Structure 1
Amino acid sequence: MTSDGLDILHSLPTLWFLITASIALSIFALVFSLRQQRRAHRSAQHSTGDEMVPDTSSKLREYEKNGHSADATLINWSPETLRKILASELPGAQVIVVSNREPYIHNLKDDGDVELVVPASGLVSALEPITRACAGTWIAYGGGSADRQTVDQNDRMEVPPDRPSYTLRRVWLSEEEQQGYYLGFANEGLWPLCHIAFTRPIFRASDWKAYEAVNRKFADTVVAEARNERPIVLVQDYHFALLPRMIRERLPEAIVITFWHIPWPNSEVFSICPWREQILDGLLGSSIIGFHTQFHCNNFTESVDRFLESRIEREDAAISYGGQTSLVHAYPISIEWPPTQLENLPSVVECRDHIRARFGLDEDVKLCVGVERLDYTKGILDRFEALEELFTHHPEWIGRVVVLQIAAPSRGTLPAYQQLYEDCLQRAEDLNQRFGSEGYKPVLMVAEHHTQEQVYEIYRAADVCLVTSLHDGMNLVAKEFVAARDDEQGVLLLSTFAGAARELLEALIVNPYDATMMSDMLLQAITMSPDEQRRRMASLRDIVRDNNVYRWAGSMLLDAARLRKRGAIDRATANVDYQPPSASGNIVSIVDRKRAS
């Protein structure tokens, strides 16, 4: 090594200390400012008699125990918080969101008018407030029948329509591309593979080729939309496993954050996929890879360790592969707080009266609701089994309990979904014939799309919300139900296999594969006293409020800021004796080079 190289090596500790101190002071200043605002807000609440924010010390300890920054718990996360992070930690950064589903769909009606549809999607409901707050660009597949008519010559439009705050950039796919990439590889292959719901994954070479081609098309669009070489790109979900690497090849200084919204299976299950190495390589093009739970992070890391030549930095939650370091972190997704859907809804009492009148329910009937896409991972048939168990062992409840199942049609051209739809209709009919009577049906199966406001009205009218997923990433229905209940009433019955069960501990946690256990918990839910409901719901609402979607996004953006500043360390210390680092490399790579020297 040259004497210049030795001088630089010897100066690394000092340089690292100075830059780390700069980062720490910057973040401390931001947190201090936000704390001051929160104190002022609390003082204002106190002076007006509003409810004070409860003590968060127990949550703080739990958050620190899980390896996160304690400061994140003390911040009042809001759109303004995100804007402050961008301004102070990522000045001038362009935020680009990439997802398959778009936040606004335009369809042609029979009379020729254009109808605006806002999909009731967990991903959309989580990301849309973030993109609004960041004034970013959202790239998505334009699948609406009038989508082409509503964009400009560059396939862009400003949204939301009533208060434009960000850009929607639509990507056009052929019927063949949509069939192979979306219905084929993503939803007949990766979806059942990752959910382990005992539906066999189907992998076809033609679907894989379409998946590659569509990922490449989206990469082209990201590059075209990037205003400079250093955007922050938020890649969403299993539709785009190859996209991070494709972006990295053309924008090496970009910060690419990939969030995988569904579970990641163990390495043995993942080995089923014929293109497992390519998928892992594609994802490791990311600067940060996020999952809902640490369990899914561990499964991903073990898959990489098994199938790729890599170095796992477990203490730093990082993977070094191909000269680049990717962080692998858990970021539990959440919802906007307070939900904008509540702004236009009447009181809980009025919602309850309206829903009961709509479905012809007596006042003393306990209303249990399930709200989801019609999907075999959601455990719809299993909750029907639990209802049958309840009626069999507690016949006094026949005529006094109704399950309202809202199941939005989904992927109806796929055989597994067609079969599920028929099975649900048949099972509901069987229960209605066996336990129903004139004017009473124990199961109301509504296989229709509902707007978010309609869904929130149903939440507010329910006595019990049934979330019985066989396997789920997070499941935002559970959090939406909690957010809807400002009366602090209602009971959440929640599957242990949903990521939300790690946070919402005051729910009644169930194993959806155990019908007897579920029926027992259902009985506990419908007989729970108002005082216990209030105690549980107040705690659940504290958790959802403090861990809202702005915290989810803000945590990722803060990590992105740290990576960008650590990249500056790499550039400052680079010389002929060192390999040029990637823009997303972190301090792990610097320490490793010191050890090697």
Structure 2
Amino acid sequence: MPISYKQFFRYGVFGLAVAAIVAFGISPFTGGIVQQWSRSDVEARSKLVFNAIGPLLSRDVEDQAWGHLADLFKRVALDKKILAVGFCDPAGSLIAPTPEMPTTFSCEKSAKLEGESFTSITSGGRRILVAAFPVQSSRGRSYLVILTDLSFAAARSSQVLSYFLAALASVVLVLTVGTIIFAVLMMRGWMDALRRAVDEVRRGAQGEPLELSGGSIDREIHKLLRSADQVPLTSQIEWTSKSLQEVLHGVLPGAEVLVVSNREPYIHNAMEAGRVVQRPASGLVSALEPIMRACGGTWIAHGSGSADREAVDENDRIRVSEVAPAYTLRRIWISEEEQDGYYYGFANEGLWPLCHIVFVRPTFRLTDWQMYRQINQRFADAVVAEAHTEDPVVLVQDYHFALAPRMIRERLPKATIITFWHIPWPNAETFGICPWRAEIIEGMLGSTIVGFHTQFHCNNFIEGVDRFVESRIDREVQTVSLGGHETRVRAYPISIEWPPSELEKLPPPAHCRSDVVAQFGLAEGTRLIVGVERFDYTKGILDRMRAVDALLSRNLAWRDRLVFVQVAAPTRSKLSSYSKLQAEAEELAAEINGSYPGRQPVIHLIARHYEPAEVFRLFRAANACVVSSLHDGMNLVAKEFVSSREDNAGVLILSSFTGASRELSEALIVNPYDTEEMASAIELALTMPIQEQAERMKLMRQQVKEHNVYRWAGAMLVDAARSRTRERVLGLAAKARLSPKPI
């Protein structure tokens, strides 16, 4: 790429011309900055003078020793930059001014504020800064005034500008010549390096090399970054387990995937008949299993089963499932003491009530926090130990591991870390209750992507970052930059498997109805309402029972025609708030049933775990399902009820404080704190015509079908692939710039 002398001369003249334009363009700003510096210097000197003579001034003013005051002012005025000094009494009269005090000076105009003030006046063609400082005495508020001639600032500005222009011209001349020479020598090697970098990334991302035909480096970089975004659109895919696997292979070819969760996908328990493998009823497990089966990665989880230790090898690993091994389960052991601090303590007595606005006071103990941090580090260390590459894809699940992303990032800086927060994120004011709020947010910002159920929770998280962490936030694209690392904040509404595999084993809804009627000894024609939850104070179990009672109290016709079956599995019984809730629920159910003697129980409260098949049988038998969460991230029970009703019958009564209410708008949306509104919604559900039920249910079923759990996982992986490819492109392009081959 030879450059002629004529071109060299043209570039040089062009560079100097640009320098001249820039210099004259910024010269007014330069002068203004210098004058502002000069004024600030004068204000600071005036404050120093006032602080130095303050004690003497107060004494003379109190004693009205004006002669002493005049001598003091004359000594102060010996400073070359100080023009004059005087004293304004409470009446606004000027006392003991030095000889250079301008005749036009007025105390009433310059000394009138309660605090110190700095104003500019003009006298004899000179700009003068008047500094006025209040002095309190028994006579009232007086002012010391110090006047400084600012003409020196203009001279200083002109001198600085001259030096600046000369220096700028020299620097531009040297840089112009040097840049042209450097560009001539290095451009060819630079372009070659970039082409190799681009080819490498393109082969890794799509499997086809990119042919470069020349042109600017920036154009090629932007071209490749645009191609990095050309991954499947989640809205154009029919999401199934198979399509999720295909997308995973397409957008993340050869990627190593690791999952971090508290709950494990397979549990080994010791039974009388021997060791039994159980799969927990978990939406999280259902969502992540297809990913792990597709990539054959490693799932890191707490080994909680009674026979888990006997099932693993010497490295605490086991291939699962045992029938058709597809990936590795790495178990982490947690002692009972650690479980009390990490899980029951900080996670469920601290973060859980903090994030759910249900008026249960969070409890924060230093020992729990220390245990939580210790367990997070243990899981992060396990991720590093299990990773076989420097850039794995790590899926961190839920509020148990807020600190783990940053811990992993420190050891694996090139990892793609997706953290999904399965519960709500509170507003910044509420989150400020937590003593370790900054550490939690900084831990999560170690992620490449932080996901929540709703955009509302994303907004709350961004506000919390803005309030508690010094970072750079781009609200337009919802990214946070901290310590040179960028984190994207995105909404990924979680869902369920479609269709649920349990439905394949169940009879039609009419048969399920007969089974449930027989199970509970219900009369024919009884209207059945159901609720399925854990015994958790966030679920509004007491509120829905009170609503049933309110309906029966105001409409006697329902007393022999309505039954409410509430299934509630005991959970976290070590915590008093949970055991207390169960006792209150059992007491309330007995009280309501006792109010209607001589008839079948109104409320059947079943305090045990229901297997998925039992839950779906109950859903298919019900006339209505009540989900009255006081605050919830998503709530999959609502979606499970909808998925179970292929007969398009039944009505969903859904709390407005769930993430699901933003997707299932055809449900009867209620405020669970309003008992009468809930009672009216139950009555409306039980009297709704079957045609209207079908119209509502069809729309909700279509929503759940299209936005199923595979789409949830796929959307996160597609976004991760975009981030991953962009980071590789930018990294390799930077490497090409820094390491060009010479001609």
Instruction: Using structure 2 for the length normalisation, give the TM-score.
Output: 0.69
Change in 2 beyond 3 A, CA 1:218/1:458 = same
Deviates more, 1:472-481 or 1:80-89: 80-89
Residues 82 and 134, structure 1, Cα contact 8 Å, conserved in 2: no
Partner residue in 2 for 1:23: 228
Counterpart amino acid of residue 95 in structure 1: V
Verify: 1:525 aligned to 2:730, yes or no.
Answer: no
SS for the counterpart of 1:106 is strand
Partner residue in 1 for 2:436: 275
* Residue 146 of structure 1, CA deviation: 1.2
Q: Distance in 2 between matches of 1:149 and 1:346?
A: 38
Counterpart amino acid of residue 365 in structure 1: T
Q: Deviations over 1:206-260 (max 9, x none)?
A: 0001001100110111112212111111100000000000110111111000000
Verify: 1:149 aligned to 2:354, yes or no.
Answer: no
From 214, 222, 235, the equivalent of 1:73 is 235
Q: Distance in 2 between matches of 1:481 and 1:185?
A: 32
Change in 2 beyond 3 A, CA 1:344/1:158 = farther
Verify: 1:333 aligned to 2:538, yes or no.
Answer: no
Partner residue in 2 for 1:497: 657
Report 1:126-275 matches (<5 A).
126-275=287-436
Partner residue in 2 for 1:399: 560
From 353, 364, 368, the equivalent of 2:529 is 368
Q: Distance in 2 between matches of 1:456 and 1:251?
A: 43
Verify: 1:469 aligned to 2:629, yes or no.
Answer: yes
Q: Distance in 2 between matches of 1:344 and 1:135?
A: 29
SS for the counterpart of 1:534 is helix
Q: Distance in 2 between matches of 1:308 and 1:450?
A: 43
SS for the counterpart of 2:563 is strand
Residues 391 and 412, structure 2, Cα contact 8 Å, conserved in 1: yes
* Residue 576 of structure 1, CA deviation: 11
SS for the counterpart of 1:264 is coil
Partner residue in 1 for 2:259: 97
Counterpart amino acid of residue 116 in structure 1: V
Q: Deviations over 1:56-108 (max 9, x none)?
A: xxxxxxxxxxxxxxx32221111222222222211101111111011222222
Verify: 1:447 aligned to 2:607, yes or no.
Answer: yes
Partner residue in 2 for 1:546: 706
Structure with more relative contact order (C-alpha pairs < 8 Å, separation 6 or more): 1
Residues 244 and 290, structure 2, Cα contact 8 Å, conserved in 1: no
SS for the counterpart of 2:595 is helix
Residues 118 and 451, structure 1, Cα contact 8 Å, conserved in 2: no
Q: Deviations over 1:161-195 (max 9, x none)?
A: 44433322211101111110000000000000000
Q: Distance in 1 between matches of 2:678 and 2:353?
A: 24
Counterpart amino acid of residue 265 in structure 2: P
Q: Deviations over 1:94-149 (max 9, x none)?
A: 1111110112222223x262233322233333333443344332211011111112
Identity over aligned pairs, percent: 55
Counterpart amino acid of residue 440 in structure 2: I
Q: Please, what is the CA RMSD of the aligned residues?
A: 2.0
Deviates more, 1:287-296 or 1:388-397: 388-397
Partner residue in 2 for 1:584: none
Q: Distance in 2 between matches of 1:383 and 1:353?
A: 25
Deviates more, 1:154-163 or 1:317-326: 154-163
Q: Deviations over 1:20-74 (max 9, x none)?
A: 34224x52xxx4xxxxxxxxxxxxxxxxxxxxxxxxxxxxxxxxxxxxxxx3222
Verify: 1:425 aligned to 2:586, yes or no.
Answer: yes
Q: Distance in 2 between matches of 1:185 and 1:324?
A: 27
Q: Distance in 1 between matches of 2:726 and 2:373?
A: 32
Deviates more, 1:503-512 or 1:162-171: 162-171
Q: Distance in 2 between matches of 1:340 and 1:133?
A: 19
Residues 245 and 291, structure 2, Cα contact 8 Å, conserved in 1: no
Counterpart amino acid of residue 127 in structure 1: L
Counterpart amino acid of residue 374 in structure 2: A
* Residue 283 of structure 1, CA deviation: 0.2
* Residue 418 of structure 1, CA deviation: 1.1
Deviates more, 1:160-169 or 1:306-315: 160-169
Runs of 5+ in structure 2 lacking a partner?
1-174, 192-214, 739-743
Q: Name the count of aligned residue pairs.
A: 533
Residues 399 and 436, structure 1, Cα contact 8 Å, conserved in 2: no
Residues 255 and 295, structure 2, Cα contact 8 Å, conserved in 1: no
- The structure having more radius of gyration, on CA atoms, is 2
Verify: 1:82 aligned to 2:82, yes or no.
Answer: no
* Residue 529 of structure 1, CA deviation: 1.3
Q: Distance in 1 between matches of 2:391 and 2:438?
A: 27
Residues 299 and 328, structure 2, Cα contact 8 Å, conserved in 1: yes
Verify: 1:556 aligned to 2:716, yes or no.
Answer: yes
Runs of 5+ in structure 1 lacking a partner?
32-70, 579-597
Report 1:314-393 matches (<5 A).
314-393=475-554
Verify: 1:514 aligned to 2:674, yes or no.
Answer: yes
Counterpart amino acid of residue 237 in structure 2: I
Deviates more, 1:94-103 or 1:11-20: 11-20
Instruction: Using structure 1 for the length normalisation, give the TM-score.
Output: 0.86
Counterpart amino acid of residue 498 in structure 1: T
Q: Distance in 1 between matches of 2:288 and 2:246?
A: 18
Q: Distance in 1 between matches of 2:312 and 2:623?
A: 43
